[in-house]
Amino acid sequence: MKKNKKQTSALKKVLRYIGKYKLQVLLSIILSAVTVAFSLYIPILVGRAIDLIVDKDNVDFSGIAPILLKVGVIITITALLQWLMNAINNRVTYQTVCDIRNEAFNKLQRLPLSYIDSHRHGELVSRLIADVDQFADGLLMGFTQFFTGIVTIFGTLVFMLSINIKITAIVVVLTPISLLVARFIAKSTYRMFKQQSEIRGNQTALIDEMIGNQKVVQAFSYEEESLKKFDEINDRLTGASIKAIFFSSLTNPTTRFINSLIYASVGLAGAYAAINGVMTVGGLSCFLSYANQYTKPFNEISGVITELQNALACADRIFELIEEKPQVPDADDAVVLSDAKGKVTLENVSFSYTADTKLIQNFNLNVKPGQRVAIVGPTGCGKTTLINLLMRFYDVNEGKITVDNTDIRNLTRGSLRTSYGMVLQETWLKNGTVRENIVMGKPDATDEEIIQAAKITHAHSFIKRLPNGYETVINDNCGLSQGQKQLLCITRIMLSIPPMLILDEATSSIDTRTELRIQHSFAKMMEGRTSFIVAHRLSTIMGADIILVMKDGNIIEQGTHNELLSKNGFYAKLYNSQFS
């Protein structure tokens, strides 16, 4: 029952998307009706032609010729109308798929970071690409065959009734048997196709992980283990696919067998009627043609139903993503943060990623405008989590964070994040030119401004050595060293220096010599700006106005470098462990 509800729900959602193209769907139905009418008219003409063949030497060629000409014209017109109908169906299908894929991708941009962090990225990619493609194939087949099949069934039924009611009754009574068989098989295949889509998503996720971390895989000789995992998932996918395809493939031959029995029954009954003079030989030929056309759509529709099971199973996974609860939207009265002074306050802040694992508890901090705040501590103490909270990638569980005395939950996310310049330990470059990567925060920057920013960060020298300089196309796997990528990310911030800065291990991938030169640039960039600096190398934060020492989500020490050393506490132990 629950499965049927999910199928019905998915179908309703699909129809809602298709509803945007009502006129095109209506035109497709009209064309379908016209092509079917022409197709049904042809057997009548053929039957008339057969009746003009009376005997071996008694053939009315003068009567047959115009009939054959008319048949040729009708066939040509029908072919053109079918081409136009298929073109409309293709357009509606791919416009619908485009709408769904756009909405799914847009939803990804609005989902909370917690959702992205808790799902394998390859599995999400599989939903947006593989599942949508499978859905498109099923929907296209449904459009192409479903309307035509329904109209053909009703049309042939009318024509058969006009020829012989008794023989038509045989067809009408026996044909639904094939539909019942098809429905029984289709109900079994939905679950199998859903399982197939889920396993395919797991496979895509594994491939994404292995390709994205191939150096680590090879460095630890993990190839055999990754192959075993892939083979295990691939075997499960093979098993699920074989089951789904096997059961779905039973539909067509089963219904064809039943329909062939119906056709044979009609042939015997029709031949008996022709012998007894109830109908002519041409009428029998016409009726057999209609009987064949009547049963044929049942075969096609049964095949469509099977494909629709696959399409609806894939659609269900897509709609699960689309209907995920988005991040809490900006309040209606949210304030746009402009010209931030940089006063940041955390009052009794508590936060944890999961309810059973406590992280930050009763955290308090008061940062004055222009202060440089360094955050140090062992791995897992909450340094990067604090940055996530400042940027409102996550909302606090308790307490509040304010910027310039305004709770950041009452600020628009866009204006808050624009007020921060952020350089992370993990670099990210989009597929584009060096120039396009640098100007992400300031699209209207001039070439002079770009070059000046690159010179300050010491990126200009290696950029000029690239094949096309600033117009060289790069991406996150372009062959640049990790340090060079980091320099480009730092240049991106240097170009559009916002009022507040976050540097999360910003120089971790850069050699010591370049780091010393960049530290001077950072110092200049941080002048008069509130800055949060996360660092493991304590040499980079010795000049900070205040150093926060974190452990287990709490500030256990704070002060300047010299003050903390004189206390001979946890910070002093960290410092001495690096410089002893």
Boundaries of every domain in the chain: 16-322, 344-579
* C-alpha to C-alpha distance for 24 and 28, rounded to whole angstroms: 6
Find the angle CA(297)-CA(172)-CA(38) to the nearest 5 degrees.
45
Residue 199 in contact with residue 122, Cβ under 8 Å?
no
* C-alpha to C-alpha distance for 294 and 175, rounded to whole angstroms: 9
Q: Which of 104, 79, 95, 106 is nearest to 140 (CA)?
A: 95
Residue 542 in contact with residue 512, Cβ under 8 Å?
no
Residue 403 in contact with residue 411, Cβ under 8 Å?
yes
Residue 201 in contact with residue 320, Cβ under 8 Å?
no
Q: Which of 336, 373, 395 is nearest to 502 (CA)?
A: 373
Amino acid at 544: A
Domains 16-322 and 344-579 share a fold: no
Residue 547 in contact with residue 558, Cβ under 8 Å?
yes
Fold of 16-322: ABC transporter transmembrane region fold (1.20.1560)
In this structure, are strands 360-367 and 344-351 parallel, antiparallel, or unpaired? antiparallel
Task: Tell which phi-psi region holds residue 239, choosing left (phi > 0), alpha (psi between -120 and 50) or beta.
Answer: alpha
The correct answer on CATH 3.40.50.300 for the domain covering 344-579 is yes
Residues contacting residue 342 through CB under 8 Å, at least 6 positions apart: 367, 369, 370, 371, 403, 404, 499, 500, 529, 530
pLDDT tens across the length of the chain (580 residues): 455 566 677 778 887 888 888 888 888 888 888 888 888 888 778 777 877 776 666 677 778 888 889 889 999 999 999 899 888 888 888 888 888 888 888 888 888 777 877 777 777 887 888 788 777 777 766 666 777 777 888 888 887 787 778 877 877 777 777 767 766 776 667 778 778 878 888 888 888 778 777 777 777 778 888 888 889 988 888 888 888 878 777 777 777 787 777 778 777 887 887 787 777 777 777 777 777 777 777 766 666 666 777 777 778 888 888 888 877 778 788 888 888 888 999 898 888 887 777 778 888 888 898 888 888 888 777 788 888 888 888 888 899 999 998 999 999 988 888 888 888 777 778 888 899 989 988 888 899 999 998 888 888 988 999 888 999 988 766 677 777 888 888 888 888 888 888 888 766 666 777 667 667 767 777 788 888 888 766 766 777 888 888 887 777 888 888 888 888 888 888 878 766 5
